Amino acid sequence: MEKTFSGKTADEAVEAGLKELGLTRDDVEIEVLEEGKRGLFRSIPAQVKLTVKEKLTDGQRAVKFLEGLLPLIGSDAVPVLASEDDKIVIELHSDGAKGIIGRRGETIDAIQALAGAVANTGRHEYRRVVVDCGNYREEREETLRHVAEKLAAKAVRLGKRVRLEPMNPYERRIIHSALADSAEVTTKSEGKEPNRYVVITPKNLRQDDRKGKRGGKDRSRRGGKDGRDSRYGGERKRTYEHRELPTESTPESSGTSFNRGSTPGYKKGGFSGFFGTFLGNAADEDDPKNEE
């Protein structure tokens, strides 16, 4: 819908048109046909044409975006809005479905992520967007449900956790949904994007497979059978041989006697540093094992 309005100036013409249509400037496209002129004897009014913008739904906006994106990536696929109820479903019609799907769905998943971002622009509540091609999503969902049930049975049989390969949020949601009502296993997502994965944990988890087991902590502290302590680099704590204290016959010049009598050999200021040698610091001063 488009309509022409006039006024003394272009701004006055625009305001008059918006008031009549009951719209805002964001709702219309404005084209100035005549700026308006004031003459000595006659004035020419300004004229503008207001075109009401087409209001697109979230799904239509995503489809319009894909219509511009797909040719840029060399695809002849045509996006069609299939549904816009509880979720937005867009079908890609193409003769080469494999090319648009990509290896393990990587291409179509990327297209779906972009379409979801466009559809949810300006929204407070997120709407789920699904982009499909050649019934790929349904077949992939069936495959993932089969894999989930098979690995859940394996986890119960072995009594151990089973980790699946990294998946996107959409596929992880399918795994969680497939095992949500299971009485034998639970599921949990771990890791960080884009390598986030699902872990299936059996309720009969074996004791030696539980995290934080006491035996594991004791072994890490005490080491192996030889009694080596990991806190000291796996080696026994070094011991020092016992040395006897000097006897009274030790010469005063050694520095161990403080009886400054007339004993020969004593010289004032002649302390030779015997204590340092006796404590073992001189011989092993570069050995870091002596630092306690």
Domain with 123 in it: what CATH number?
A: 3.30.300.20
Q: Helix (H, G, I), strand (E, B), or coil: what is residue 200?
A: strand
Q: For residue 236, tell me if it sits in a domain.
A: no
Q: What are 53-72's pLDDT values in tens digits? A: 778 899 999 999 999 999 99
Q: Above 50 in pLDDT, residue 255?
A: no
CA distances from 281 to 143, 161, 238, 255, 288 (A): 72, 55, 15, 16, 11
Residue type, 189: S
Q: What confidence tier does 286 reach under pLDDT thresholds 50, 70, 90? A: very low
Q: For residue 284, tell me if it sits in a domain.
A: no
Q: What is the pLDDT of residue 98?
A: 82
Question: For residue 247, which of 271, 274, 269, 265 has the smallest C-alpha distance?
Answer: 274
* Range with the largest mean pLDDT of 45-54, 211-220, 225-234: 45-54
Instruction: Mark which of 169, 188, 207 sits at the end of a domain.
Output: 207
Q: Which of 95-104, 139-148, 283-292 has the lowest mean pLDDT?
A: 283-292
Residue 146 domain boundaries: 138-207
Residue 245, CA atoms < 13 Å, CB-side half-sphere: 3
Under DSSP, the state recorded for 236 is: P
Question: For residue 261, which of 270, 252, 269 has the smallest C-alpha distance?
Answer: 252
Q: What confidence tier does 118 reach under pLDDT thresholds 50, 70, 90? A: very high
Q: Is the peptide bond before 71 cis (omega within 30 degrees of 0)?
A: no
Q: Are residues 47 and 11 in the same domain?
A: yes
Q: For residue 146, tell me if it sits in a domain.
A: yes
Q: For residue 226, tell me if it sits in a domain.
A: no
Q: What is the pLDDT of residue 70?
A: 94
DSSP sequence for 86-133 = SSEEEEEE-S-HHHHH-GGGHHHHHHHHHHHHHHTTT-SS---EEEES
Q: What confidence tier does 97 reach under pLDDT thresholds 50, 70, 90? A: confident
Average pLDDT, integer, range 183-196? 93
Q: What is the pLDDT of residue 238?
A: 56
Q: For residue 235, tell me if it sits in a domain.
A: no
Residue that is written with structure tokens 């151990």 in the block: 160
- Whichever domain contains 173, its CATH number is 3.30.1370.50
Tell me how many domains the chain contains.
3
Q: What confidence tier does 162 reach under pLDDT thresholds 50, 70, 90? A: very high
Q: How far apart are CA 211 and CA 65, in angstroms?
A: 48
Q: What is the pLDDT of residue 222?
A: 47
Beta strands in the chain (DSSP E): 2-7, 28-34, 37-38, 43-44, 46-52, 78-84, 88-93, 129-132, 162-163, 185-190, 197-202
Q: For residue 225, tell me if it sits in a domain.
A: no
H/E segment holding residue 232: none
Q: Are residues 158 and 198 in the same domain?
A: yes
| pTM metric for this prediction | 0.55
Question: For residue 173, which of 133, 128, 116, 218 has the smallest C-alpha distance?
Answer: 128
Q: Above 90 in pLDDT, residue 27?
A: no
Q: What is the pLDDT of residue 278?
A: 36
